[in-house]
Amino acid sequence: MNRIHLDHAATTPLAAEVLEQMLPYLTTTQGNPSSVHESGRDARSAVDAARDRIAAVLGCAQREIVFTGSGTEADNLALRGVLERWGPERGRHVVVSAIEHDAILETARHLEDAGAATLTVIGCDRDCRVTPESVAAAVGADTVFVSVMFVNNETGAVQDVAGIAEAVHRRNPRTLVHTDAVQALGRLPLEPQELGVDLLSISAHKIYGPKGVGALWVRHGVALAAQSTGGGQERNRRSATENVAGIVGFAAAAELTERVRVAETEGQEALCARLVAAVALQVPGAIITALGAPKAAGFATFAIPGVRSDVLLAALDMDGVEASAGSACASGAPLPSHVLRAMGYPDDLAAGALRCTTGRSTTSADIDAAASVIAGAVERIRDRIGANATAVSR
């Protein structure tokens, strides 16, 4: 079966060019970057060069890049690191949006439950938009940290992060603003200084790089409490032996994705528009989510009445189409999407979320075939539910 991968927001395949640059550090160059001998120095040189390359893509200083093991770890380091370092001095109030990735939202709730923070969760509108005014209105004298993601991982809705950062800093100049930009890298221009934020998270495996490596951009002058201590790597901000091959792959992927970003954006937008139109035509009642928001390229997202996401995804998988309900971290759980619920969708619709995300390998033929598979799967599920309901009523 020729499988159609429409889950590129969950992960992307490793690009051949990226693998080629990683291979020496998986085979012949085996030194620990903290060792002083020749192979250690070679590994250190590779890490330093990769940091410079990523900094060039982001338009920032290399010292502002902290390598982590994932985007989730970068988010946690931002939130926990700021709260632990600055909370006693500036206050323990944290503001996040209701549509954040669980790496932020659930971490903030955990910190509140543990008594380490007070939390305000800001809602969004029906199109998954969070306004700068609503975020700033929640900021007080004791607000130490604000986080609003740049591109929502479930709907692709783009937030006005620059406007949010400006409004928050105007309200309280000491509040630190973070954005999870994991889904933005490769889809939008991404320069942290231009956004006006203080911290920004990215990840390699969303841009055709390797899994297991991410980064946190930390504006120069912002101190963090390390959440992993020991060897003092990453300027004492994240102790652990660096993943040399992964970091080199991250740099290669970042350069490649920036080089092709504009051309790829046009192609992904056209493919998603084709899929949205086909699903709207072939699936009765299908709702296109976040339709009124600016949307990152590569996202076609729906709420399908009369089906449950986990059942639909299983049916699609059997027919060779790989999609998701939202975050890959949670898509195995048959729960209503917290993002769609925040957007005001009732649980029966939020439980029918479908996220299709295209990538470099996606073709128009893939889109047409996937739309047909989606329509057929929805029809079968609805027919089965209807038959079961009839049987029960008898």
pLDDT in tens, 288-325: 999 999 999 999 999 999 999 999 999 999 999 999 99
In degrees rounded to 5, what are phi and psi of residue 288? Answer: -85, 120
- Quick: pLDDT tens for 192-203: 999 999 999 999
pLDDT of res. 394: 38
- pLDDT above 70 covers what percent of the chain? 96
Cβ atoms 86, 144 nearer than 8 A: yes
Delimiting residues of CATH 3.40.640.10 domain(s) in the chain: 16-255
Burial classification of residue 131, based on how many CB atoms lie within 10 Å of its CB (0-12 exposed, 13-18 middle, 19 or more buried): middle
User: Within 10 A of 193 (CB to CB), how many other CB atoms are there?
Assistant: 14
* Residue tagged active-site, from 128, 272, 329, 356: 329
- pLDDT at residue 30 above 80? yes
CATH number assigned to the domain covering 16-255: 3.40.640.10
Average pLDDT score over residue span 245-252: 98
CATH number assigned to the domain covering 4-11+261-386: 3.90.1150.10
Average pLDDT score over residue span 138-163: 98
Average pLDDT score over residue span 90-100: 98
- pLDDT at residue 331 above 90? no
Residue 356 known to be catalytic = no
- pLDDT at residue 272 above 60? yes
Q: How many whole angstroms separate alpha carbon 172 and alpha carbon 137?
A: 11
Q: How many whole angstroms separate alpha carbon 147 and alpha carbon 135?
A: 9
Average pLDDT score over residue span 95-121: 98
pLDDT of res. 12: 98
300 to each of 129, 136, 323, how far by Cα in Å? 17, 30, 10
- pLDDT at residue 91 above 80? yes
pLDDT of res. 2: 87
pLDDT of res. 140: 98
Beta 321-322 vs 4-5: how paired, if at all?
parallel
Query: Which token pair is 331?
Result: 């898509």
- Average pLDDT of the chain is 95
- pLDDT above 90 covers what percent of the chain? 94
Query: Which token pair is 77?
Result: 């380091």
Average pLDDT score over residue span 213-237: 97
- pLDDT at residue 392 above 90? no
Delimiting residues of CATH 3.90.1150.10 domain(s) in the chain: 4-11+261-386
Cβ atoms 17, 253 nearer than 8 A: no
pLDDT of res. 250: 98
Q: Under 8 Å CB-to-CB from 126, ≥6 apart: which residues? A: 292, 343, 344
- pLDDT at residue 391 above 80? no
- Quick: pLDDT tens for 335-389: 799 999 999 999 999 999 999 999 999 999 999 999 999 999 999 999 998 756 5
User: Within 10 A of 263 (CB to CB), how many other CB atoms are there?
Assistant: 9
Average pLDDT score over residue span 256-273: 96
pTM given for the model: 0.95
